[in-house]
Amino acid sequence: MKLFKNKEIRFWLIAIIVVSLIFTIGAFIWNIYFGFFTLLLCTILVVIYIIMLKQKYKKISKLSTELNKIIHGDYKLTISEFDEGELGLLQSEIYKLTVMLREQQSSLEKDKKLLENMIADISHQVKTPLTTINLLIAKLSKKDLTDEEKAKVLSDLYELIYQIEWLIETLLKMSKLDAKTTSFKKESIEYDKLIKIATSALLVPIEIRNQTISIHTEGTFHGDILWTAEAIRNIVKNSMEHNKEFGNIKVVATENELYSQITIEDEGQGIKEEDLPYIFDRFYKGKKDNSKGFGIGLALARMIVINQNGTIKVENKPTSGAKFTIKFYKQII
């Protein structure tokens, strides 16, 4: 039997048998009947000890088999019965290990699926501008183009290159947030200055589109300035792209004892009801959205807000246009 191949078990079993024999011989010398009784008792004790060893060995063997399965990647094990003593502690630790490995495996599978979807989405998003770039380059090589036509083609090329560059930069930022390698700073800045930082790069595009932007702020923002400015900029950019000509973009920042709030409103056609639940999903552009965006600006904005104990929602205004509401909740001790 495998049980008796263990040196320690053999030693203690022989020791028990020897001690039992000594007691039995002594009992026979003293009294024959007491000797038989002692022999029977020692035999029973030795048998009980062997049975207990076999039971314990079976459990250890079972644990060994389960550990071997874990080593080979099977984390779907459950150990429901815990004995007392060292073996029970070992069972408990193995169970904790399987739970932890199962959770890690599930997390890795989700990350893998997310990565596969992201790669597929990136390939799809980049393919369209690259195809357009190839067409524009082919058009640029034609000899019969006028200077005005060449200038238009070059302008379109620069815009497409900028879009791809922005896409890559945004995806890198999102990957940092996904990997949780970014730490958000605790800074303080007046809302007026924060909104100006966020919208400064959009003032010229807004003017070119014959739109206006109005800003009304009060209070102080507490959080990461650059990341929050990025989130606000992406929302304002989205409002600009979907606003009507001569429309206004209204940015309002307020503060109370519980939270600070930023609202961004436009005067466009609003968001279709079927698109509202998915507007913050990555690469979602709406079923009938013909804009040149990639559908990741709002997704990045949402990630930034959530990572700072905030919430973000969007709704259609009763008249026209969409309204984004960001809330940053204060930590109350």
Flag whether pLDDT at 154 surpasses 80.
Answer: yes
- More confident of the two residues 58 and 255: 255
| Residue 38 confidence class, pLDDT cut points 50, 70, 90 | confident
Would you state the pLDDT for residue 90? 66
**Residue 171, number of CB atoms within 10 A of its CB:** 18
Token pair for 168: 């890559």
Closest Cα partner for 214 from 195, 235, 187, 231?
Answer: 195
Would you state the pLDDT for residue 106? 76
pLDDT tens digits along 257-286: 889 999 999 999 888 888 888 889 887 777
Flag whether pLDDT at 155 surpasses 80.
Answer: yes
Q: In what order do the strands lie in the sheet with 259-265?
A: 212-217, 248-255, 259-265, 322-329, 310-316
Exposure string of 31-44, with b = 16+ CB inside 10 Å and e = fewer, is eeeebeebbeebee
- Enumerate the domain spans of the chain: 2-74, 103-179, 187-329
Spell out the long-range contacts of 289-292 with Cβ–Cβ below 8 A and sequence spacing 24 or more.
291/241, 291/242, 292/163
Q: What's the CATH number of domain 103-179, 3.40.50.720, 2.60.40.10, 2.50.20.10, 1.10.287.130?
A: 1.10.287.130
Flag whether pLDDT at 166 surpasses 90.
Answer: no
Token pair for 181: 């390698």
Mean pLDDT computed over 277-298: 75
| Residue 198 confidence class, pLDDT cut points 50, 70, 90 | very high
pTM metric for this prediction: 0.62
Flag whether pLDDT at 228 surpasses 90.
Answer: yes
Between the alpha carbon of residue 246 and those of residues 137, 152, 208, the distances in Å are 34, 25, 10
CA–CA gap between residue 227 and residue 221 (Å, rounded): 12
Flag whether pLDDT at 295 surpasses 80.
Answer: no
Mean pLDDT computed over 105-110: 78
CA–CA gap between residue 111 and residue 106 (Å, rounded): 9
- More confident of the two residues 114 and 311: 311
Q: What's the N-to-C CA distance of the chain in angstroms?
A: 65
Q: What's the CATH number of domain 187-329, 3.40.50.300, 3.40.1410.10, 3.30.565.10, 3.30.1390.10?
A: 3.30.565.10
Q: Which of 81-95, 109-123, 135-149, 305-319 shows the lowest per-residue confidence on average (mean pLDDT)?
A: 81-95
